[in-house]
């Protein structure tokens, strides 16, 4: 299932992600550009000290639209825009992989980003089949680029 173009994960993306280690070696800060349908409308950064992300919108109307979309997508989140940015960064990183990513329930992907990589050259369908056959009790999920998310692996239908 492909997400509709109205979904924030289809409208928004990030590019130019850069990290910089703190001089004391106690973490890192990062920044990247925010895009709407490929067009830049601002920058987001994090000092890596546990606070809120910083936003510098070059188009204030697009910035407000982004924040509104984040609130609609994550109405219960303390900082919905930060959460949407985290999801966009994860999607960027996962989509850049040249191997199929997957996880099991114990990997806590949403909390820690922990995931596994399938053997090189295997297709999404091959990985889904192998996980459904070999590890159904571990509640496997695979990264599906069409929805920018880890999706459950369902048992193979009987033949």
Q: Is the distance from CB of 46 to CB of 53 less than 8 angstroms?
A: yes
pLDDT on residue 159: 64
pLDDT above 60 (res 126): yes
Model confidence at 31, pLDDT cuts 50, 70, 90, reads: very high
Per-residue pLDDT of 52-69, as tens digits, reads 999 999 999 999 999 999
Note the pLDDT of residue 23.
76
* pLDDT at residue 158, as a whole number: 67
Helix (H) or strand (E) holding 15: strand 12-21
Q: What value does the mean pLDDT take over residues 83-105? A: 93
Q: What is the pLDDT of residue 4?
A: 55
Quote the tokens at residue 136.
Answer: 């159904």
* Percent over 90 (pLDDT), the chain: 68
**Residue 1 to residue 3: CA distance in whole angstroms:** 7
Q: Does residue 3 surpass a pLDDT of 90?
A: no
């Amino acid at each position: 299932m492909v997400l509709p173009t109205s979904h924030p994960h289809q409208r928004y993306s990030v590019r130019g992600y850069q990290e910089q280690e703190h001089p004391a070696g106690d973490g890192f800060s990062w920044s990247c550009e925010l895009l709407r349908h490929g067009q830049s409308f601002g920058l987001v950064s994090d000092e890596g000290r546990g606070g809120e992300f910083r936003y510098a919108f070059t188009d204030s109307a697009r910035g407000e639209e982004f924040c509104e979309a984040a609130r609609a997508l994550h109405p219960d989140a303390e900082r919905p825009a930060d959460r949407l940015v985290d999801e966009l960064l994860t999607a960027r990183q996962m989509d850049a992989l040249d191997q199929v990513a997957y996880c099991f329930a114990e990997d806590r992907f949403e909390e820690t980003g922990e995931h596994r990589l399938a053997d090189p050259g295997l297709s999404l369908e091959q990985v889904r089949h192998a996980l459904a056959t070999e590890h159904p009790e571990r509640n496997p999920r695979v990264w599906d680029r069409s929805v920018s998310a880890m999706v459950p692996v369902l048992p193979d239908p009987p033949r």
